[in-house]
Structure formats: C-alpha cells, structure tokens
Chain A
Amino acid sequence: MTLYEIMDILDAKVLVGRKYLGTEIYTAFSADLLSDVLAFAKAKSILLTGLTNPQIVRTASILDIAAIILVRGKIPQTETLRLAEQLDIPILTTRYILFEASGRLYTNGIRGCEIKVGTDDVIAI
C-alpha cells in the first residue's frame, strides 16, 4: 500500500515529505530502541516509533527507511524535522499507540520486515 493509504489508516498527519506519499510500502518495524532498529530493520520499510530525537532521522537515512511514523501523538523537536527535510525522510504522526498502529497496518496487509530474530538459546547475561 502507499504511504498515503497508511496516513489514512492511521489517521496520521504528515510533518515532512508530503511529496513522498505515493511510495509503496510492504513492510514495517516498530520499536523504541534504535539499537534494535539498526540491528533488524530492513531497507524500504517504515519505522513506527515513539522516539523523536534527530537520531531517528539519521538512523532512517543509514538504513534507507521509507518513512518514520511517530506514534502516541508525538511531535518531534524542530531539529528532527529540519534534518528530515534535509535528508528526505518523510515523517508522519498518529495518535494511535504503537500496538494499535502496528495492528491496524498488519490487518491491512503490511508485514514485519523480520518475523523472528535471534536463536532459541536463552543466554543469561
């Protein structure tokens, strides 16, 4: 589905990158941990997160993330928006919580960019 349809499903507002709403999206990654985003998110996926600092944009740029969807109604710092414009990363914001936003997208056909990660061995640290 397109970013435009995602905006519709999540009743989201576009903060940066209106011109990219036609981008086709198939997969997503949801996390509030950039370490995990860097380890597991795949190129061309969207990133759903509650983080709003400039590093979400740099992380998205490093990974070729197609768009950032901020959940829980977050509005990022000005620096984050400025950087997103500079690096051409669309940012949308939705009032849905992370679970609800992810679930609504899944129901409409978006899939996780990974299904499971790691191994079944549990290692105590």
Chain B
Amino acid sequence: MNLNYENSFEIQGGSFLKAGEVSVFVKKTLQRMGLPNDILRKVAIATYESEINIISYARCGVIHIDVNATRVLIDVQDEGPGIEDIQLAMRAGYSTASEEIREMGFGAGMGIPNIMSCSDDFQITSEVNKGTHLKVMIRMPANTN
C-alpha cells in the first residue's frame, strides 16, 4: 500500500458556501489510498475544522497535507486577525464567531478543542493582525507499513 501523499489547498476567507469542499476532497482521496478508518476520521475532522476556521475568521489561508507511512501532518497557515488569547481559544465553548457563522451551524467554540482531540501532537502560534499557524500531527498505527 502506497501511503504517500502531499498537497496544498488555498482557502478564501468568507467563502461559506464552499466550506468543507477541500476537506471532503482530502478525505475521499485518502480513503481511496487505504488510510485506516480511525486515522481517516481524525484527519478529516481536523482538516474540516481548520477549513471552517479559515473561512470564518481569516482573509485567506493554506492547508498543507503531508502523509507518509508513519504519520499525517496537517499544516494550516492563515492571514487574518490572529487570535488574541490562545489559551481561551483552546477552551471548549469559547467563540468570537459572527452571526453568519453561527447561522451556518458553526461557531460554538468547539473547533480548536476538537482539532486537539484528533491530534497526537498539536501546536498553535498566532500573531494579532497577521494570522494563525496550526501544526497537527496524527500518528499512523504501527502495523500500517
């Protein structure tokens, strides 16, 4: 089984109708490659939450997916307002979402906590008025390769 995949996706802030398009594509692609179901689920959720975050809060952003036999890396870099208080953003229920985001059914303050719960390693850095950078690592089970 060839478990190597790498791709970058540009996401435009505010493109609410398209929200999730990239994540569904990534999930279907990795599913066809034979990624184990539990890993696939974590990758899909982390990518989807990241995509929704860019669309909801940033001007634009890039999601970079890098898969090999030992791990999946999801690198998400956006240009936008950044996060003032990261500790607060990591807490379930904290949200600064607009009415438009909430009407879509998002913005409940579960995004970053949910990405963290899907990650084996999670790093977040943010600079106010510049943007936010997420690094997510999801480990493959040892018997995949």
Mark A residues whose CB is within 8 Å of B: 32-39, 43, 49, 51, 53-56, 58-59, 61-64, 79, 87, 118, 123, 125
Residues of B89-127 at the interface with A, using a CB-CB cut-off of 8 Å, are 91-94, 104-111, 113-114, 117
Q: Which residues of A sit under 8 angstroms from B130, Cβ to Cβ?
A: none
- CB atoms of B110 and A36 under 8 A apart: yes
Contact for A55 among B49, B88, B105, CB less than 8 A: B105
CA distance A87 to B24 in the complex (A): 9
- CB < 8 Å neighbour of A35 from B24, B37, B111, B117: B111
A33-B108, A34-B104, A38-B49 given; name 8 further pairs at CB < 8 Å: A35-B107, A35-B111, A54-B17, A54-B19, A54-B20, A62-B23, A62-B27, A63-B44
Residue contact A125 to B45, C-beta cutoff 8 Å = no
Query: Across the interface, which residues of A come within 8 angstroms of B84, CB to CB?
Result: none
Question: By the criterion CB–CB under 8 Å, are A38 and B91 in contact?
Answer: no
Q: What's the least CB distance linking A53 to chain B, in Å?
A: 6
Q: How far is the CB of A115 from the nearest CB of chain B, in Å?
A: 18
User: Are A34's CB and B45's CB within 8 A?
Assistant: no
Q: Does any Cβ of A come within 8 Å of B10's Cβ?
A: no
Q: Is the CB of A36 within 8 A of B108?
A: yes
Write out, one digit per residue, whether chain B residues 48-65 have a CB within 8 A of any chain A CB (1) or not (0). 110000000000000000
Q: What are the residues of chain A within 8 A of B108 when measuring CB–CB?
A: 33, 35-36
Inter-chain contact A34/B105, CB cutoff 8 Å: yes
User: Of B27, B104, B106, which contacts A61 at CB under 8 A?
Assistant: B27
CB pair B109–A59 under 8 Å, yes or no, is no
CB–CB A79/B17 < 8 A: yes
With A62-B45, A63-B41, A63-B45 known as contacts, the answer to whether A125 contacts B21 (CB < 8 A) is no
With a cutoff of 8 Å between Cβ atoms, the chain B residues found around residue A63 in the complex are: 41, 44-45
Bound: A61/B24 CA distance, A = 7
The residue on A at minimum CB distance from B37 is A43
